[in-house]
Structure 1
Amino acid sequence: MTPGRISPEAVLAASERAGIRDEPVTASEVAAEVGCTRRTALNKLDTLADRGTIRTKKVGARSRVWWLPDDGDAPPEPATAGLDGVPPDGGESDRLESEFREMFERISDAFYALDDDWQFTYVNDRAEELIDYRDAGLVGQDFWEVFEWATDSTLGEEYRTAMETQEPTAFEFYYPEPLEAWYEVSAYPSETGLSVYFRDITDRKRREREIEEYRSQYETLVENFPNGAVALVDPDLRYEVFGGSPESTEELTRTDLEGKGVRESLPEELADVVVPGYEAALDGESSEFEAAVGDRSYRFHFLPVRDDAGDVFAALGMSQDVTERKERERRLQRYQEYIDAVLDAIDDVFYILDESGQFRQWNDSVPAVTGYRDEEIASMSPLEFFDESDRTRVAAAIREGFENGSVQIEAETVTKAGDRVPFEFVASALDSPSGDRVLAGVGRDITEQVERERKLEAAVDELEASNERLESFASMLAHELRNPVTIGQIYTRQLPDETDSTAVEYVTEAFDRIEDMIDVMLVLTRGTEAVGERVPVDLAAVARSVWDELSVPDATLTVAVDRTIRADETYVRHLFRNLFENAVEHGSTSNRPEDDDTVEHCSTGDQPPDAEATAERDGRGVAVTVGDLQTGFYVADDGAGIPPDERDAVFEAGYTTAADGGGTGLGLAFVQELADVYGWECTATESDAGGARFEFRDVERDPPCL
């Protein structure tokens, strides 16, 4: 049978089956017979006792029993004759009086009888215990004299009305001192007097008063309860206080529910959820759970409400609609599952650490890389994945990540099998959805990168060694060449005058060019180390001197520079010589190409010394200008110029368009290298006349003397 639908009549029938007509029964026996909780049986038995159908009393400190009066459904109306102090007439009357006395003594309620003169004719033990507080005996005394206060009280009014109308009455009354207690009084009039039953209902009135106090206390909660309902339910599962909106039954109001039974007031689906919660609370148990009602989700909370003695006299139930929250949680769960799937699909290691430095989350790559199972990782510190020599550094990096917001570190992880794998870890500090500070990071296997770096370092070391060998070879070769060149120059100057002057000139020039080539080679191979001490160099004077040495009568030089710089004059002379010869060789107005073929950018000294070549070197009218720039100088000509897409390539070593004519492609490479050695910016561009222009900026000046 459903607990909320058990009627007092059903409990009475079960009590009779349990033997209540023969002997007192307990609430537990009745509950077992009905198939309900002891609390439900207790509530229904109290209802029957309130009606006067059965009687009850305490047995010991916490137990109670119930029984039926001898005449069944209603308390017996005593016959005042024979109980008024007049001796019975014997026989059957004596027997009946004896039985009545025995019955009234068994009744747990207080009972007394008054005759039509308002004198006590009988008082049972319970009544004497309660109202004979002077211990003077009540039988034979006038009721109005014993209880003078009752004359103008509700008690006196009810008694007089009952006798006048000969109608029974029942009412609640507060007895003043010395009892100071509430009683439920039932008075049954007859022509010969008044029979009165009364019992102490102080506890019940106290509970009602406490419920009323709780009602007042919960009014604010009830009226302002958010997004749900709150209710105070009495032991009979009736609503005492209600507020809010019942789950999925918005049409029900407070007026509809207060004073009504929970089971009868709610839809069956909802009642099946809340009634067990209220019953458990009335049995002293708290509960909290979530359940679906219809298409909505609710969170329920049931609490026992206790009086000052600790006894449960009501149950508090609360519910809140959590449908939106549950939907958010489901979306968050789906999103988290999506994120987890994405992270697990990443080959790199992903992890989240809390502020204590322990793992909060990781993806599938962590166990795949380390060889540890998830349950092992959950019990491990991140530091355990590194060699002891690296743990202090890794711990410091974790602290740095939390303090500075981000961190990057490279370290070798040690797998479960003992293998070492180099990783790069990058992490950032974030606030988790719960508000905690966490460190989220990614670890990437850099084995291939480390191997490439190792090979690159090896290649650099090998290149440096090769450069050292090349520099050593260049120095040795320069030393070995200078000796025969010097000897050749000396002996050339000692040739007799009748020697062929043209041949001597070419031999001398060849020796000079070899010496120049040695200087160029040293700069290209040794860089800064090949350049001597920086001294003041007058650009204009050096430019004119170098031009005079070239002997190109058909070409012209204009010097429009007034600048003294700090450099090695020998190499500045080489720079001008290469630029001038490049302009004369490839800038002749009669030698301009008819198409976009590039000019040769090499030294004229590389050409064979024959008459035809000499004629080509005359320049045929090319004009060369050495001019001033704000931070340097330039050398320009009015020749054929350099195509834009080849202006960077002309500085590369070996670049030449005149290889068949002996060009080496080292002339402009030397110019670029020398500029780099001195920290100058060197660029090739077009001159105002359409020819080639080489600009040098950021050239160090020689400070003037003051």
Structure 2
Amino acid sequence: MGSPIHVLYVDADADVADLTATHLEREDDRFTVETAASTTAGLDRLDADVDCVVSAYEFPDTDGLAFLEAVREDYPDLPSVLFPGKGSEAVAADAIDAGVTNYLQRRDGTDQYAVEAAGDPIYTLDADGIFTLVNDAFCEVTGYDEADLVGAHFASILAQSDRLRGEEVVRSLRDPSVDRRTSELTLVCRDGSPVPCEIHLTPLPTRGDGSFCGTVGVVRDISARTERERELERERDRFETLLERVPTPLVYGHVIDDDIRVTRVNAAFEDVFGYDADTLVGEYLDEYIVPAEHGDEADTLNVTVRREGNVEHEVRRETTDGMRDFLFRAIPLHETGEDTVEAIGVYTDITEQKERERAMREQRERLQEREEKLIRLRNYTQDLAYADTPAETATVALNAIDEILGFDLGAVFTQAETQEGVLEVVEVLNQRQMEKMYGGIPVFLRDAPAGTHSELAWEVFESGESVFLNDTAESDLLARKSPFGSLMLYPIGDHGVVLLAATTLEAFTETEEILLDLLAATLESAFDRLDWERELRRQRDALERQNERLEEFASVVSHDLRNPLQVADLRLELAREECDSDHLGDVADALDRSQALVDALLTLAREGEPVGETEPVDLGEVAEICWHTTAAPDATFRVETDRTVLADRSRLRQLFENLYRNAVEHAGDDVTITVGATDEGFYVEDDGPGIPAEERESVFEGGYSTSADGTGFGLRIVEQVATAHGWEVRVTDGTGGGARFEVSGVDVAE
């Protein structure tokens, strides 16, 4: 194999250039062919590596001879070949005169070789459209053999629908002014299958007399492209259907400067905005749907779409339902000019969402305001807890109304203590203005005429239901014109009402209503506390007076009753020394009973005081000690507990002693008494006849006794001792059927 030969082939026809280069390289393995599409590109490519230059004759701006002459100026020894498509003897002579190394005109033989050597499907037709040459690639595409095609008419392998058009394309090349045609035609293969093709046709070189001699066609199978186009068409159809069915308004258009010129809208757009495609297409969109106050915003948005592409922005637009909020998304498709972008605009209605957001924001603000006011109100409720008088309490409440709610007209009314059916002012906020509005400080009378503030105030007070009027003139509750535009009346339990007023309409919101409701409830509690404290003071004073009387009674009993009893007892002793009479025994019993009554009354008078300090007391030990002081030698006593309790030892002894005496008096000298513990305290039980259920509530009343010898105060003293400790005592059935006294609420010592 010899040295490689580098050939530069220059031809304005790219298809011919490629075919020629392929032919040369296949002719000799030493050939390496580089092509150039113009004489200028050919001159730029020339260098020492090129071994031969081949040039066509026809060029748009010059001819091959001029090109080769220019080559010889710089490279006089470089071999050159002129290879015209349409030559003549004159051209050949000029080539030889110009010093061209060789002159070779393209003829049928050359075309045949080029056709056979080419890799693309290629064929040639004569002047009548009859196949004269086909290459292997063409046979492979169609499935025909060369012998089947050569001599057959070109139209015979075209689809029936394409035959007339195919023949028209071939005939058009007879016109000398037509140098090429490209057409999409469907070839029918030998097996009957259609093959969509793109065919590039050019006329063959004319004969010497200039007559048309045929065409050459280069075929490209576009089945895949056609299928893609069909698929794209199907996708486009589906997309079109989808767009029409999408419930979201869509608009297509060109963004020009700061506006959108409409090319299309979908059905949803027409429904929402009220303009059909016939009205909008070709028009500027913003002129129809953008409110005047949002014009600048829309212009800026359009410029952003044109310059930056995708845009997402919340906008307000005019619709058939008035102003609505939308999330506008602009999606640019492609640029159609220096300052123009084709885009699609999507309008998603977010009006309800924005309304919800606004409502939630307003609610958040109201709740935050309410929370802040509640915190401040809490400070005032603490002040109410320490107010000492109704006037001071009312002043604190009105200050809260002024400072927290921001209203400067109000008053607190309570029932008059000296007059029935009158609600009088306790305290007024902005007294001068209130007097001006009412013509003086108002007093609400129960028997006032219907439709007046007085009647309304009493209705609120007696029903316990508040009244909330944001327009007094429109209210059915007031028959007479009110000096206020807005009015609120809240009950304060059984004390009175709170009045809050404003000269304007719609002055009160839900927040004011809630806060005033809380304030009124707190004010009611404050007035309740004042009443309770007043009642406590009254009871305390009464108790002190009662205690004074009891002390006085105890002194009288102790001195004025005991002294005569003692004198009578001495006289009885003297009488027994002087005589012996059965009547003296009765006198002694009467004196003993009188002394027992005096002792019991003194105990009752002095045991009503609450127990102060307590101490750990061994329950069983105290019970034993008390039993030893009880005169009942035939009785049986048992202790069944070792519990230690917190109690006043001396008063606990009084409790046991009175229970023991009560058991002996009612159950007999041979009674059995048991002391034991319960979960909540202790019990004292006997085995006597017991106490009937219907009498168990009466046994603790003073003076109650079923024994002739009893004073009726023993169990009363027991209850007083228990109450003084904070205990409770009750009577129930004993284990053996007797009486059982249970004391509960007793604290056990650790």
Larger of the two Rg values belongs to structure: 2
TM bin, normalised by shorter chain, reads: 0.3 to 0.5
Instruction: State the structure with bigger RCO (CA 8 A, min sep 6), 1 or 2.
Output: 1
